[in-house]
Amino acid sequence: MAAWNAFLEASHRVGRRVERQLRDQQGLSHPQYEILVRLAEAPDREIRMTELAELLVTSKSGITYQVGKLESAGLVRRRSCSGDERGVFAVLTDEGMDKLRSAAPGHVEIVRSSLIDLLTPDQLDALGDALGTVARRLDPRD
């Protein structure tokens, strides 16, 4: 159970540092930042609400809430989905893209100093391998 305790402690400590950095320096929650990242990577910079929830491993109502925040801030807009009247796309605005570009360096820096740079290349590879396996095997799409 040593691995389990390390897993718990590391997630909390790293998560806490990442959240504080984004909050203090960019006024963004971590979920909000993740939404911006996913949208920026997506074709046409847009993703359906439900898919966003799956990508971030969170609830649909959580996405409704956070996308609402981002929309108020002008970083994201909603677009209804032609072909499926129920569907809603969250779309990254130009402002949102700018925000992401300004937030990314600080975020990368804190991720490095909280995780990446603490490990040897071998340790990091092993970590990615193990957690990649876990993430993949717990993916509901099986």
Query: Quick one: which of 58, 69, 78, 97 contacts a copy of itself (CB under 8 A)?
Result: 58
86 phi and psi angles, rounded to 5 deg: -80, -30
Q: Does 128 interact with a copy of itself (rule: CB under 8 A)? A: yes
Q: To 5 degrees, how large is the angle CA 24–CA 53–CA 114?
A: 40
User: Which residues 23-42 are close enough to bind a copy of itself by CB under 8 A?
Assistant: 34
Interface characters, 83-122, with DNA (x: CB under 7 A): xxxxxx----------------------------------
Q: Which residue's CB is nearer to DNA, number 30 or number 127?
A: 30
**Among DNA, a copy of itself, none, what does residue 78 contact (CB within 5–8 Å per kind)?**
DNA
* Interaction mask 82-111, a copy of itself, x per CB under 8 A: -----------------------------x
Binding site for DNA (CB under 7 A): 16, 20, 29, 31, 48-51, 58-69, 78, 81, 83-88
